[in-house]
Structure 1
């Protein structure tokens, strides 16, 4: 793996032909990643590095990690790397493939349950076009999740840090998917069979497949509507806990001076089966339910800069995903972003969490306040 990483890095430094990638949530061209096309081939090499510093005012100076429900920008009061990767992508009329290798805190915390050799894989997938005249693809491997409007790549998100709902839903999936884009570019339909809820290696004791879908509608360049779902489990078969999850969002006026994202997640796990001797009963019946609404707005202050604000709420009384019983927390953030160069983005964000009751993860405080800054460079 080290040899391959070195080879990709050398390749990326050897070519200087640049082209812009496209992202529907990007504010303007200066925040886009540059790609390096290998002359005479369908191969491109890209890279990304995000360094950051996060200062949590509510935690003790000796506490080096921020709350456990966060998986990005988690180190406290130290300069660190959240995500760095180098990616090789190949595409022609009928086949495509991606291989990206990563390091950083994102990989450290999100891939902690994976096998050691998998923890440095950001993407590894191959695809084939199933129709000569239609945009219909079959892809298999490890790929970025289609669930949610926020990704692991901070520069592609409107805010520096991730929302609680993004941190506690899949960033990546492993399996096979079929994707269809209509000829008018307005609809994307996706269906997938995956190894589980953000798992490369299937969870021990879970044998069933998990299913995930996406329906996205773009009636114009100013509006994107999305519904993604997950049906499966993140528990061993013996507990019989089926998970059903839905993610909804609307992105309004993403390329304009003022834009808004409205998001809502809601999910449920069946309550577990309890076994007592030869008796089997369901503990209380019903489901554990969690949900989270979020609103993000941003205003373009110049061709190189914008400000953003976020209000969110996360309710997980049973601690199903957060792991903290009674978790009911509001979140507020305010950020500023400045593109120093077309491929270099400097960001600053203040964030406050306000919980309904003191939580152990906040060192038994009700309010948690932090300031984070980052520098992201893409090539």
Structure 2
């Protein structure tokens, strides 16, 4: 080989250097979703109360049977709700599991139908357990999740008052099934629910129920129209339930907000054509200072055939609540409440020969509730 002739190795190196470098890979136009575990968030709280019922009920039970998810026990420090769970925001898959313990949890699950592998004893500690999937404007959720009906939440810190309204107590706080939510834009949305029934995890018949919602959320006005249609009679009985609920809130000023609710329901019952019930309430909340607010509520609930409360009656009530938030994770509420019925339904200190409280037509309560949450 001549000294002037380049070696094969040198030619190879020169050719490699002459070859253009491959272009850098283009950045993906879609950002990567955060991992499932990075979206995992713990949550929970402790809701404790002490209050006095001027009726001094012999059985220490406030309100009427089947209600009282916020202040059921009289003249004792009691735990209304101790909750603990985790949540994962859907991106696109999410989930939430929340356990609840306390007097409120006992009351809200008391109507669970008894059956094989279901009943209040089985589900009494379960507050929410659901899977979710989000894609574009559509979000799907399946399992046990909060109800789409009503103005009030089962969690006390989310409500304007400490005790719940009669419409809140006598409509679902939770439901089990499949929910689809479609967001048309930033203000309008719609929901469709396929449900086991009216605040049940198990079911007492083979008929499913449907629920709907149309909602608007503006800068000052928010409103929703909610429905429920489903068989609520036990197996073999005619019990088609139709229910509609309207909720509206309006920010009058930066410190004053108003809310109005109205319910109407009907159901076929054995031995009669239909049972009817309806109610309405007006709420106001004014921010007195940064940590202090005052809320008031007036309401009326007519159970025309005794289906929802067990007694044909009209319930009326008024509530006044002073709220203080000494920190972002603590809410204190001092509340006075008076309720009256057209029937004798509220327990008193006197008892009958068999030890049952003698009822009267009114009840006055004073309660202090404290809720810490994260």
Q: TM-score, normalised by structure 2?
A: 0.82
Alpha-carbon shift at residue 135 of structure 1 (Å): 2.0
Aligned to 2:151: 149
Asked if 1:117 corresponds to 2:122, the answer is yes
Aligned to 1:374: 369
- CA distance change for structure 1 residues 38 and 332 in 2, over 3 Å: closer, same or farther? farther
How many residues are paired up? Answer: 323
Which aligned pairs between 1:75-86 and structure 2 lie closer than 5 A? 75-86=73-84
Aligned to 1:47: 44
| Superposition RMSD in Å | 1.9
Aligned to 1:65: 61
Q: Which has more radius of gyration?
A: 2
How many angstroms apart in 2 are the aligned matches of 1:337 and 1:320?
Answer: 35
Alpha-carbon shift at residue 117 of structure 1 (Å): 3.2
- CA distance change for structure 1 residues 70 and 115 in 2, over 3 Å: closer, same or farther? closer
Contact 2:139/2:180, CA 8 A, preserved across alignment = yes
Alpha-carbon shift at residue 233 of structure 1 (Å): 2.5
Match of 2:161 among 149, 153, 159: 159
Match of 1:107 among 80, 84, 105: 105
Asked if 1:346 corresponds to 2:341, the answer is no
How many angstroms apart in 2 are the aligned matches of 1:232 and 1:255?
Answer: 40
SS in 1 for 2:342: strand
How many angstroms apart in 1 are the aligned matches of 2:320 and 2:222?
Answer: 24
Alpha-carbon shift at residue 216 of structure 1 (Å): 0.6
Asked if 1:172 corresponds to 2:174, the answer is yes
- CA distance change for structure 1 residues 301 and 38 in 2, over 3 Å: closer, same or farther? farther
Asked if 1:364 corresponds to 2:362, the answer is no
Q: Which moved more, 1:140-149 or 1:245-254?
A: 245-254
Contact 1:44/1:88, CA 8 A, preserved across alignment = yes
How many angstroms apart in 2 are the aligned matches of 1:360 and 1:144?
Answer: 29
How many angstroms apart in 2 are the aligned matches of 1:284 and 1:160?
Answer: 37
Q: Which moved more, 1:248-257 or 1:357-366?
A: 357-366
Contact 1:54/1:74, CA 8 A, preserved across alignment = no
Match of 1:126 among 118, 121, 131: 131
SS in 1 for 2:105: helix
How many angstroms apart in 1 are the aligned matches of 2:123 and 2:40?
Answer: 23
Match of 2:222 among 221, 224, 229: 224
Aligned to 1:25: none
Which aligned pairs between 1:299-310 and structure 2 lie closer than 5 A? 299-310=286-297
Q: Which moved more, 1:85-94 or 1:288-297?
A: 85-94
Ranges in structure 2 where 5+ consecutive residues have no aligned partner:
1-33, 113-118, 349-357
Ranges in structure 1 where 5+ consecutive residues have no aligned partner:
1-36, 273-282
